Structure 1
Amino acid sequence: MTYIHRTPAGRGQAHGVLVLILFAGIMTLWTEAALAHAVTLGDQGYIQEINGVHIIPFLYLGAKHMVTGYDHILFLLGVIFFLYGMKQIAAYVSLFAIGHSVTMLAGVWFKFGINSYIIDAIIGFSVIYKALDNLGAYQKWFGFQPNTKIATLIFGFLHGFGLASKIIDYDISPDGLLANLIAFNVGVEIGQLLALAAILVVMSRWRVTPSFARQAYAANVLMMTAGFTLMGFQIAGYFVA
């Protein structure tokens, strides 16, 4: 038998409001993130100037990219939103990590990228897809539930192409490229774990509140809105560029 700790209604409301404010803050920052989601100009200049193996700087850049990548974080949040067991969470996060690691490394190594506007629009769609999945939309609309693990892996591949496309644009020196790419990818995974840890701390407190079910619906609607916002900016950028 599972016992769920109940917090007073006031604390439950406070936790829920805190999470919704967090979502609103992310959406407020979204306009800048949508147009300049990649590496900052200073970091970009550093990447383009160096030669040889630089493990620590690329670890840092990979972690920084993931922690400040609101689209990646929102998708990751959507993936674990209703996952309670650590084995389940580890399985889904691992699938996402495998997906984006494979396409990021292969994409840069073989210089195969996708237009940044298009791939970022697709990443925005992945947030929409997961939010709708969390809302049970596919069962209501189509009468079936897509395989969530396969979807997570596929979107991991697409997120990886987003990373690869941005790295290719920076024209990294081939000297030490493989080691630097691996370091960058390890940094991305470190950043993902840091983001996941922060998400789980908030989610674990929020889930035990009586208001979670009602506020979870609003949170996923906000996630979906953020995904549409990113898609809109990227599609507009594609036609304006």
Structure 2
Amino acid sequence: MHGPVHRGPPRACARRCLALSLFAAVLALPLLAGAALAHAVAEGDKGYIQEITGTNILPFIYLGAKHMVTGYDHILFLLGVIFFLYKMKHIGIYVSLFALGHSTTMLLGVYFNVGINSYIIDAIIGLSVVYKALDNMGAFQRWLGFQPDTKLATLIFGFFHGFGLSTKIIDYDISPDGLLPNLLAFNVGVEIGQLLALAAILIVMGFWRRTPSFFRHAYTANVVMMTAGFVLIGYQLTGWFVS
């Protein structure tokens, strides 16, 4: 069954990980800043969404898949979720919970025109990456003395990821003509993109897990993941304050 790393790293390793985290943050900031601007639907896709009317199933499936595959924040969270999952049954449960969460709020958010400030929701998505990395590092067990419900956390953060998707779609003023089938098609595309991303992650993780370096570097990998999440939070909050 899923579970984070329970043993804390040696003190020397912890210091190295902290130094690596700070170094990675400095390097990642300009990269993620540019990526954060690119994470929204591309300008060409935006223009296409605003121009078309009626039911357009295949184009919206393509747009949904493209958005998920290029959505680095969603993929980072997905990586954190399956990092220590080995059985396909457990992977299926957690990925299904994430899909249920983001599908629900994406569909309802757009249909009922409920949007959240994009900087705030993207900062919360960055927080989800930080949370999952800390969970994988066993931080909550050491700090709180118990393990939070990982399934419930995956579902709840899935809701926030879905609001991130709905907020971006609302910004592009999609036509009400054919809205529901187009949204369903977009969501199907998102799930296809998620499965493609998951397949790639599982292939890479499968090879890595067979090597002795996996458990030696798992803690460090989650420190880097946590750092990326903090950078995302900082970038989005900065954008919110200066916008």
TM-score (norm 1): 0.88
Deviation digits for residues 37-71 of structure 1 (CA, Å, limit 9, x no counterpart): 11000100100011001111100000000000000
Match in the other structure for 1:159: 161
AA aligned opposite 2:208: W
Q: Please report how far the alpha carbon of residue 138 of structure 1 lies from its aligned counterpart in structure 2 after TM superposition.
A: 0.1
Distance 1:50 1:190 in 2: 23
1:186 to 182, 185, 188: 188
Distance 2:160 2:44 in 1: 26
SS of the aligned residue for 1:144 comes to coil
Match in the other structure for 1:207: 209
Distance 2:31 2:38 in 1: 11
1:223 to 210, 221, 225: 225
Distance 1:205 1:239 in 2: 43
Q: Please report how far the alpha carbon of residue 212 of structure 1 lies from its aligned counterpart in structure 2 after TM superposition.
A: 0.7
Deviation digits for residues 137-162 of structure 1 (CA, Å, limit 9, x no counterpart): 00001101000000000000000000
1:51 to 50, 53, 61: 53
Contact in 2 for aligned 1:33/1:69 (Cα 8 Å): no
AA aligned opposite 1:172: I
| Unmatched segments (≥5 aa) in structure 2 | 1-23
Contact in 2 for aligned 1:132/1:224 (Cα 8 Å): yes
Match in the other structure for 1:100: 102
Match in the other structure for 1:115: 117
Deviation digits for residues 47-96 of structure 1 (CA, Å, limit 9, x no counterpart): 00110011111000000000000000000000000000000000000000
Distance 1:160 1:47 in 2: 19
AA aligned opposite 1:145: Q
Contact in 2 for aligned 1:35/1:233 (Cα 8 Å): no
SS of the aligned residue for 1:174 comes to coil
Match in the other structure for 2:16: none
Distance 2:71 2:233 in 1: 15
Match in the other structure for 1:131: 133
**Percent identical across equivalent pairs?**
76
For this pair of structures, how many residues does the alignment match? Answer: 217
Q: Please report how far the alpha carbon of residue 35 of structure 1 lies from its aligned counterpart in structure 2 after TM superposition.
A: 2.6
Match in the other structure for 1:86: 88
| Unmatched segments (≥5 aa) in structure 1 | 1-23
Distance 1:46 1:148 in 2: 39
Q: Please report how far the alpha carbon of residue 126 of structure 1 lies from its aligned counterpart in structure 2 after TM superposition.
A: 0.1
Contact in 2 for aligned 1:132/1:138 (Cα 8 Å): yes
Match in the other structure for 1:30: 32
TM-score (norm 2): 0.87
Distance 1:235 1:128 in 2: 15
SS of the aligned residue for 1:173 comes to coil
